[in-house]
Amino acid sequence: MTQFIQLHLLTSYPPSNLNRDDLGRPKTAVLGGAKRLRVSSQSLKRAWRTSDLFQQALAGHVGTRTKGMGTEVLKALKAADVPDKVARTAAGKIAAVFGKPKTAGKKGEEAVSAKVEIEQLAHFSPEERAGIDALVALLAVEKREPIDAELKLLKKDHRAVDIALFGRMLADAPDYNVEAAAQVAHAITVHATEVEDDYFSAVDDLNIGEEDRGAGHIGEAEFAAGLFYLYLCIDRDLLVENLGGDEELVAKALRSLAEAAAKVPPSGKQASFASRAYASYALAEKGRQQPRSLSIAFLKPVRGGDFLDEAISRLGEVRQNLDAVYGATVDAAYEVNAAQGSGRFDELLSFVAEPVAAEP
């Protein structure tokens, strides 16, 4: 049966704007009839996979997500003095391997230039990047376009951990799609909250006040604070499959994901709020049972008193009640509580990385 790893994190952020909506305000959601702050899973996953922590731990096994690989190829070919028309055609052909050229609404020379960029973000594995680089080096020397046989740049067998965890969808090459092994929920506050407005002004340093004593700039910034609940579920068997059975890399991937989820915040407005935080509480669970979020613990918003203690207590109560009704919902668990100094984070990471014990 499939092995699942589940992570439940409680992280408190001070006044911040971690993840903005189209109006620049912190994202929200309604749960249990109360407005909550929300951080999207997309924002979280990008923060984790681009973090120094993730990049360093998994060096050589992290992909690149871009529409502009063709543009990079074009620059490299032109820098090698490949004729412009040949370079553009070559870059367009290489880009088209990974997606449809971005030519909608463009005509003539503009359309020719646009063909080196694709419409959809594509996730390139390190192995695919190496293949592109090798082909570009060859074309630069021979000053020519690639032939069809040289354009087989997509790889089914690669070791890109971020692609293995978070998946890849190539509309024009579905055989190379990768099903995500990790499912990440939107983080929400365990309590009701409201977005507040901060009216601010900035002073012009060269204004000595002889003619104008007013501010050089005035504006408004939105912010909010809260204790967030975050849930992740990882299909370990699928992760093993996605990484070609490399158990050592699987263990590194799981440790790195768990550590990033607990330590790395979204990058939104960090210069303005310095809203960096580690998870105050983390619960890791493993088992072959059907996974379940514990978000129902917060259908009724936490109110007053110690929000963290109350949130932890509710998670424990929901776990016990689910087990009482359905039977054991996990095989093993490990938790750390930074507020109380209990548990050890490195032990939690080791727990996450190790496979579920074999069934008797």
For residue 93, which of 147, 174, 155 has the smallest C-alpha distance? 147
β-pair partners for 219 = 200
pLDDT the model gives residue 333: 97
pLDDT of 359: 64
Enumerate the domain spans of the chain. Answer: 4-62+180-207+217-353, 65-159
174/153 Cα distance (integer angstroms):
14
CA–centroid distance for 99 within its chain: 22
What are the residues facing 223 on neighbouring strands?
A: 196
Which residue, chain included where needed, has tokens 């910034």? 221
Q: What pLDDT does residue 195 have?
A: 87
Locate 222 and state its tokens. 């939105």
Q: pLDDT tens digits, residue range 92-142? A: 999 999 998 887 555 555 555 557 999 889 999 999 999 999 999 999 999
- Evaluate whether 67 touches 122 at the Cβ level (below 8 Å): yes
Query: HEC profile for 164-226?
Result: HHHCECCCCCHHHCECCCEEECCEEECCCCCCEEEEEEECCCCCCCCCCCCCCEEEEEEEEEE
pTM of structure:
0.90
Beta strand segments in the chain, E: 4-16, 28-31, 34-39, 64-66, 122-124, 182-184, 187-189, 196-202, 217-235, 281-287, 332-337
Q: Which segments in the chain show pLDDT lower than 70? A: 104-114, 200-201, 208-217, 219, 358-360
pLDDT (0 to 100) of residue 193: 92
Which tokens in the block code for residue 6?
Answer: 């589940």
What residues form DSSP beta bridges with 232?
7, 184
